[in-house]
Amino acid sequence: MDKGKKRVAILGSTGSIGTQTLEVIAANLDKFETELLTAQNNADLLIAQAIKFVPNAVVITNEDLYEKVKNALSHLPIKVYAGMKSVNLLVQMDNIDIVLTAMVGFAGLEPTIKAIEAKKPIALANKETLVVAGKLITDLALANAVNIYPVDSEHSAIFQCLVGEFHNKVEKIILTASGGPFRGKKREDLAQITKEQALKHPNWTMGAKITIDSSTLMNKGLEVIEAKWLFAVDVAQIEVVVHPQSIIHSAVQFEDGSIKAQMGLPDMKLPIQFALAYPNRIKSDFPRFDFANYPNLSFEKPDLETFKCLALAYEALARGGNMPCILNAANEIAVDLFLKDKIKFLQIPEIIAQTMHKASFIENPTLNDFLETDKEARRISSL
């Protein structure tokens, strides 16, 4: 191992963020190498990634696929493991310099906690970790002197705007939203929306769950909660602005009234690379933004009446405790039901609101409380 290289663990390597992270690594093999790759069900892609990058270890969390992965990699010096317990254990390895968490949903919480406890810097693409247990995670990171580098394009933008400004007071964080595929539509327009329509995002290429979250604006709601914990601001200091062109990725307003914004073409590889390489910027061949191609950038307020998920996220953050955990679990179930054609598009916020009303509220939850809350909220949402 070249000591000059940063050794990366990618949790969720076969998803959209994971595959783009490997593209960044492939373009910068003099700076990074893969140490650990994990996947849930996509054994074929995990095998192909392992053959190409030859990490120290891989984990397939679906234990039924263990033999398939192990046999396919038996000719290589790669350790093969199965199950979430293996992920939780392996993120603590001494030979990992940074852990990129790109698992979708609640599953990313425990391995992130284990990595922080092992004093590993985190490149965070799993927003649910901070949504569910923001105080627990940020307190743990502080106690272990661990940096959390945001990978979300919006939070990366805010982080980039804050570099060199950490001593200056933030007045407001401005999170931009594309508005998703249904921007401008009213509730009656959304009554018969199909899964195929909701999966067509105008600007970004993402996994199915995140794309549906973008269409309901829940993705932005989760980002509001995440921003509160990442940047230590109050809910009243976080404003969402719809910006259809997705060129300004987010902005920060300081107490003198000045606003700093981070701009660029929509490309997740840039925030991924920034998180992995921080505090350095690496030369890239990513497409460059040209002002002449975008003579007009527009901005508008989000429609909270039509897109109730964003309003529910603000409510959950304001109530605190385990309410964001309830919101997240209910949303995961509702999105899954929609993707399986079992509910209508407008039933997603209805299920979330009902679950927030019915689930047990805990003001100061522990990790075990979060685990139990997640189970309870999923059970209520599934009824």
**Which residues neighbour 157 within 8 Å (Cβ) at sequence distance 6 or greater?**
248, 249, 250, 251, 261, 262, 271
Last residue of a domain, one of 275, 305, 335: 305
pLDDT interval class at 309 (50, 70, 90): very high
Q: Is the pLDDT of residue 101 over 50?
A: yes
pLDDT interval class at 3 (50, 70, 90): low
pLDDT tens digits along 35-55: 999 999 999 999 999 999 999
User: What are φ and ψ of residue 255, in 5° steps?
Assistant: -70, -15
Identify whether 103 is part of a domain: yes
Average pLDDT rounded to a whole number, residues 138-148: 97
Give the span between the Cα atoms of 114 and 111, in whole angstroms: 5
Identify whether 126 is part of a domain: yes
| Residues 166 and 74 reside in one and the same domain | no
Q: Is the pLDDT of residue 281 over 50?
A: yes
pLDDT tens digits along 168-224: 999 999 999 999 899 999 999 999 999 999 998 777 667 788 889 999 999 999 999
User: Residue 300 has what DSSP assignment?
Assistant: B
CATH assignment at residue 374? 1.10.1740.10
Identify whether 370 is part of a domain: yes
| Amino acid at site 154 | E
Q: Is the pLDDT of residue 77 over 80?
A: yes
| Residues 107 and 36 reside in one and the same domain | yes
Identify whether 311 is part of a domain: no
| Residues 173 and 301 reside in one and the same domain | yes
Last residue of a domain, one of 150, 171, 196: 150
Identify whether 273 is part of a domain: no
| Residues 15 and 87 reside in one and the same domain | yes
Average pLDDT rounded to a whole number, residues 150-160: 97
Element (H, E) at 254: strand 248-254
| Residues 164 and 98 reside in one and the same domain | no
Domain that holds residue 331: 320-383
Element (H, E) at 249: strand 248-254
| Residues 19 and 76 reside in one and the same domain | yes
Confidence (pLDDT) at 207: 78
Chain-wide mean pLDDT for the chain?
95
Confidence (pLDDT) at 204: 65
Identify whether 177 is part of a domain: yes
Say if CB 48 and CB 71 are below 8 A apart. Answer: no
Give the span between the Cα atoms of 352 and 312, in whole angstroms: 8
CATH assignment at residue 24? 3.40.50.720
| Residues 301 and 166 reside in one and the same domain | yes
| Residues 114 and 128 reside in one and the same domain | yes
User: Model pTM greater than 0.85?
Assistant: yes
pLDDT tens digits along 318-375: 999 999 999 999 999 999 999 999 999 999 999 999 999 999 999 999 999 999 999 9
Last residue of a domain, one of 150, 182, 206: 150
| Residues 98 and 146 reside in one and the same domain | yes
| Residues 56 and 111 reside in one and the same domain | yes
Confidence (pLDDT) at 1: 44
Q: Is the pLDDT of residue 13 over 70?
A: yes
CA separation, residue 118 to residues 99, 256, 317 (Å): 11, 39, 29
Average pLDDT rounded to a whole number, residues 254-265: 97
| Residues 185 and 141 reside in one and the same domain | no
Identify whether 65 is part of a domain: yes
Report the percentage of the chain scoring pLDDT > 70.
Answer: 98
Element (H, E) at 39: strand 32-39
pLDDT tens digits along 227-258: 999 999 999 999 999 999 999 999 999 999 99
| Residues 129 and 190 reside in one and the same domain | no
Average pLDDT rounded to a whole number, residues 369-382: 96
- Number of structural domains found in the chain: 3
Identify whether 313 is part of a domain: no
